[in-house]
Amino acid sequence: MAVQWQQALAVGQYIVTQRLKGRKRFPLVLMLEPLFRCNLACSGCGKIQHPPEILKRNLTPEECFAAAEECGAPVVSIPGGEPLLHPQIDEIVKGLCDRKKFVYLCTNALLLEKSLDKFQPSPYLTFSVHLDGLREQHDKCVDRKGVFDTAIRAIRAAKAKGFRVTTNTTVFEGADPQKMQEFFDFLETLGTDGMMISPGYSYEWAPDQEHFLVRERTKALFREILSPWKTGKKQWNFNHNPLFLDFLMGEKDYECTPWGSPSYSVLGWQKPCYLLNEGHYKTFKKLLEETNWENYGRASGNPKCADCMVHCGYEPTAAMDALKPENMGRAISSVFGS
């Protein structure tokens, strides 16, 4: 099973409730960044480019809980930085799970195996391990040898203790489709609870601007990578709504839902997308009410949005589309892994 049925049911009920209340804009996933520090310096990430005084700061558990309650999204993704560097990350995760939020703790897994005793297996907790390819490719992406092997050991240890584990892969310009397919085959041997994939998007603070994808190349590359899955030759277990994968392959033409995955960090609520560096609001209410949303997404003509196909903006769109009667069957297939 990929997308677990409890999460799919909770998200579906949440969307219906928001619509019945007449709300035009509402979040589906809170991107909660309790710190920006990391124990890696990946070339495709801009988070550690913050000044030292910002890198030293942590959100408190109380600030995290308040953000989750203020936002109201049923899913909370905890990226970073590296969340396992936070001294109270276990308290943050427990508090969110107690509030019945579906938590995805995103980690490079360097600290995961020795941190497992801090957590309890739960249908509300998933460790999302960053892996961008097989050993050589991944270690090159994170600019450190041995990270791939450490991550694989941690995944196996977490699964042995009964935790939900998914993988999270960014596909960059120049990716070899055959090697990506071999990578997916390998991930299937680990018995994880699904794979997540997204195209790399060029944003201002990322040091490496050369290897990000643009829209038409993204579609062509994902069509080639996913062709064995699309034709049924491979049964890769994706932790995605299949409509989002259709979008990546160019079979769906979606617009971004820029309010679907708001980001909260030590700096506040980011305006309006975590990939753009446009400042912050103090409250989620201000973010929703004071942002000129018409200025974002491909249809807006904003050049920063023209080539983006990243999950944070388009998976919420796919989730909304999944509730249309003609799409329900295909969307439900992701719950039952068919």
**Region 308-315: what's the mean pLDDT?**
91
Could you give the CA distance from residue 155 to residue 139 in angstroms, rounded to a whole number?
A: 16
Average pLDDT estimate for 85-93? 98
Q: Which of 256, 241, 264 is nearest to 72 (CA)?
A: 264
Helix (H, G, I), strand (E, B) or coil at 275: coil
Give the separation between CA 240 and CA 193, rounded to whole angstroms. 11
Spatial separation of the C-alpha atoms in residues 159 and 300, rounded to whole Å: 44
Query: How far lies 95's CA from each of 14, 68, 85, 177, 221, in Å?
Result: 20, 10, 18, 40, 40
Q: How far apart are CA 263 and CA 270, in angstroms?
A: 6
- Compute the C-alpha angle 304/275/210, nearest 5°: 70
Residues 6+ apart with CB under 8 A from 120: 94
Supply the DSSP symbol for 52.
H
Confidence of residue 37 (pLDDT cuts 50, 70, 90): very high
* Strands of the 280-281 sheet, one edge to the other: 195-199, 164-171, 125-130, 102-107, 75-78, 29-32, 263-265, 268-270, 280-281
Distance CA 194, CA 210 (A): 29
Q: What is the pLDDT of residues 273-291, one digit of tens each?
A: 877 889 999 999 999 999 9
What distance in Å separates the CA atoms of residue 166 and residue 223, rounded to the nearest whole number? 22
Question: What is the average per-residue pLDDT within 173-191?
Answer: 95
**Cis preceding linkage at 81, omega within 30:** yes
pTM above 0.95, yes or no: no
Q: How confident is the model at residue 336 (pLDDT cuts 50, 70, 90)?
A: low
Tokens representing 95?
A: 């508090």
Q: Provide the CB-side half-sphere exposure for 127 (13 A, CA).
A: 34
Pairing label, strands 125-130, 102-107? parallel
- C-alpha 147/C-alpha 47 separation (Å) is 19
Which candidate, 206, 167, 202, places its Cα nearest to that of 184?
167
Across 53-111, the runs of DSSP E, i.e. the strands, are: 75-78, 102-107
Kindly tell me if the per-residue pLDDT of 205 is higher than 90: no
pLDDT in the model for residue 263: 96
334 contacts 241 by C-beta, under 8 angstroms: yes
Torsion sign over Cα 38, 312, 31, 98: negative
Dihedral angle, C-alpha 247, 182, 1, 11, nearest 10 °: -30
Percent of the chain with pLDDT over 70: 92
What's the pLDDT score for residue 215?
84
Mean pLDDT along residues 40-49: 69
Question: Residue 109 pLDDT > 90, yes or no?
Answer: yes
Please give the full DSSP string across 202-263, using - where no structure is assigned. Answer: --TT-S--SS---HHHHHHHHHHHHHHHHTTS----BSS-HHHHHHHTTSS-PPP-TTSS-E
Q: Measuring CA to CA, which residue among 212, 169, 220 is closest to residue 304?
A: 212
CA torsion through residues 132, 137, 142, 148, sign: positive
